[in-house]
Amino acid sequence: MSENMPAWNVHLTDEWRSDALDLLADESLPGRWTRRWLERPAWPQVQDIDDRWITSMELEDRTRQVAQRLLGAGLKPGDRFVVSASATADLVVVYIAALRAGLVVVPLNTGYTRAEVERIVADAQPAGAAVDDRERAAWISEAAAGEPVIVGIEVELAGSAEADLDRVTRDDPALLVYTSGTTGRPKGALLTHGNMLASATAVSLAWRWQPDDRLLLTLPLFHVHGLAVGINGTFTTGASVVLRPRFDVTDVFGRADAGAVSLFFGVPAMYQRLASTPGAAALRRLRLCVSGSAPLPPTVANAIAAATGHIPLERYGMTETIMLTSNPYAQRRKVGTVGFPFPGVELRLGDAGEVEVRGPNVISGYWQQPAATAQAFTADGWFRTGDLGEFDEDGYLRLVGRSKDLIITGGYNVYPREVEEVLLTHPGVQDAAVVGRSSDEWGEEVTAVVIADGDLGVDELRAHAAENLAAYKVPKRIEFVDDLPRNALGKVLRQELR
């Protein structure tokens, strides 16, 4: 453990501080989940978007059948399997079934354009996919090699295998999540069952997640926030989740006020909308609101606290490491900080204050990318997050910036280089620089500063961007200029453009 490691465990109960704490008990996600289901077969586990509840035993049964259908169709353990759909119980069933069958789930944003889908499929080489949209299914089918098994999200497949399920162990890969960078080869973070089990167990302990908690989940299920924290955490705890297809302020207030839910997880852009809409006092009935994926502005945290009596619990995570730090549940929650490392997570500050981490939650590497993997770790094996931090006088971690070139808009990551490359493919564009400008609505707003020929207009350039980029990556603002500020080496000075 490094010298600058804070005394995080002063905030944990004796039980959590125990050396006997086994974050990896049951070996795999299905190992833990099936044990929980057998303990309480009639427990309501998932509330679908039509408000119908699915019990543990029904979930066991449905996921078993779907897993056997997937294996019966010829898929094999270790095969990559794309899952791309809006948040419904069918999606949760396919996700669990694929894990029980030993497949590696590749979650895919439902808003991606054809070009974005193709790049990921070309890299992941999936043997199959479950998709809720015919056009996206066709894109995947055409981009994949061989004859992939592509099914609708209900997985209506004729065959079924009598294979044993739940054979995976902690080192088996479970999830391949793509973090994009440029229009070149995307990077897939390969998370094992052990990574996800360790993180879900740690989160469950730290937030005192209980079986009778009901999580209101309005996040998409193709990123670790919704999937590895919301879904995995629910089943790891043996609690319940209420699925919603999208975030809607009135719906959140209504369910909270009715006492139908006890937990809410969201990104700061959601809290910003909740705080600025009359009626936020409805959130008073929730046991816990958690914010993450981007910095929670203190004004928003304080507005929620004023309306509800509780400061939202801010935590910090990353696809490659799942959850890293959290403000304490029972002790002081400090606005503007991300608290202390979760059980099992070790954290230190490296050169220039970069946050470096290790633990059972951290990936071993990127899918088939040894060079990118080597770059992501220090010589002594710590993962470099690209976030800059400092510890305050009480040992709470405060994130103060990023060494990586990244914009976070409404909780979604956008790499400026990727957007610039798309803009530069327009014949009227001579040069372009993309930056994140601070915004009340989105945290950061994707902004393009462009040198263009003749009469290229904003609408035409935005339409060109939208053809090639998911909507959240499309610049909200485009400004035409005669020159871009550059340093002596010719590098664009992004800070000046911001």
Cβ distance 397 to 391 under 8 Å?
A: yes
Which 3 state secondary structure label does DSSP give 404?
Answer: coil
Closest CA relative to residue 178, chosen from 446, 399, 436, 369: 369
CA distance 40 to 237: 12
Q: Candidates 124-132, 311-319, 329-337, 416-424 — which segment interacts with ligand AMP by CB under 6 A?
A: 311-319
CA distance 468 to 118: 11
Q: Of the candidates 40, 285, 402, 476, which one interacts with ligand AMP according to CB under 6 A?
A: 402
Question: With binding defined as CB under 6 A, does residue 166 bind ligand AMP?
Answer: no
Distances 184 to 123, 172, 180, 274, 422 between C-alpha atoms, Å: 11, 28, 9, 38, 11
DSSP single-letter state for residue 491: -
Q: Name which of residues 410 to 439 contact ligand MLC (CB under 6 A).
A: 410-412
321's contact among ligand AMP, ligand MLC, none, with CB below 5 to 8 A by partner kind, is none
Token reading at 396: 């709470």
63's contact among ligand MLC, ligand AMP, none, with CB below 5 to 8 A by partner kind, is none
| Size, binding site for ligand MLC by CB under 6 A | 23
402's contact among ligand MLC, ligand AMP, none, with CB below 5 to 8 A by partner kind, is ligand AMP
Q: Of the candidates 442, 448, 450, 497, which one interacts with ligand MLC according to CB under 6 A?
A: 442
Question: With binding defined as CB under 6 A, does residue 292 bind ligand AMP?
Answer: yes
Distances 450 to 73, 290, 367 between C-alpha atoms, Å: 50, 38, 34
Q: Candidates 300-308, 313-321, 345-353, 465-473 — which segment interacts with ligand AMP by CB under 6 A?
A: 313-321
Phi, psi of 283 (to 5 degrees): -75, -10
Nearest distance in Å: CB 377, ligand AMP: 15
Question: With binding defined as CB under 6 A, does residue 409 bind ligand MLC?
Answer: yes
Binding characters for ligand MLC, 302-341, by CB under 6 A (x = yes): ---------------xxx----------------------
Residues written for the chain:
498
Phi, psi of 466 (to 5 degrees): -65, -25
Q: Candidates 83-91, 264-272, 394-402, 415-423 — which segment interacts with ligand MLC by CB under 6 A?
A: 264-272
Which 3 state secondary structure label does DSSP give 231?
Answer: helix
**Residue number with CB closer to ligand AMP (247 or 415):** 415
Which 3 state secondary structure label does DSSP give 189?
Answer: strand
Cα dihedral across residues 265, 268, 273, 274: positive or negative = positive
CA distance 79 to 102: 8
Question: With binding defined as CB under 6 A, does residue 293 bind ligand MLC?
Answer: yes
Q: Candidates 23-31, 207-215, 289-297, 465-473 — which segment interacts with ligand AMP by CB under 6 A?
A: 289-297
The bridge status of strand 128-131 relative to strand 104-107 is unpaired
Which 3 state secondary structure label does DSSP give 145?
Answer: coil
Enumerate binding residues for ligand AMP (CB under 6 A).
179, 224, 292-295, 314, 316-319, 338, 385, 387, 399, 402, 408, 413
Positions touching ligand MLC (CB under 6 A) are 219-220, 223-226, 246-247, 267, 269-270, 292-293, 317-319, 409-412, 442, 471-472
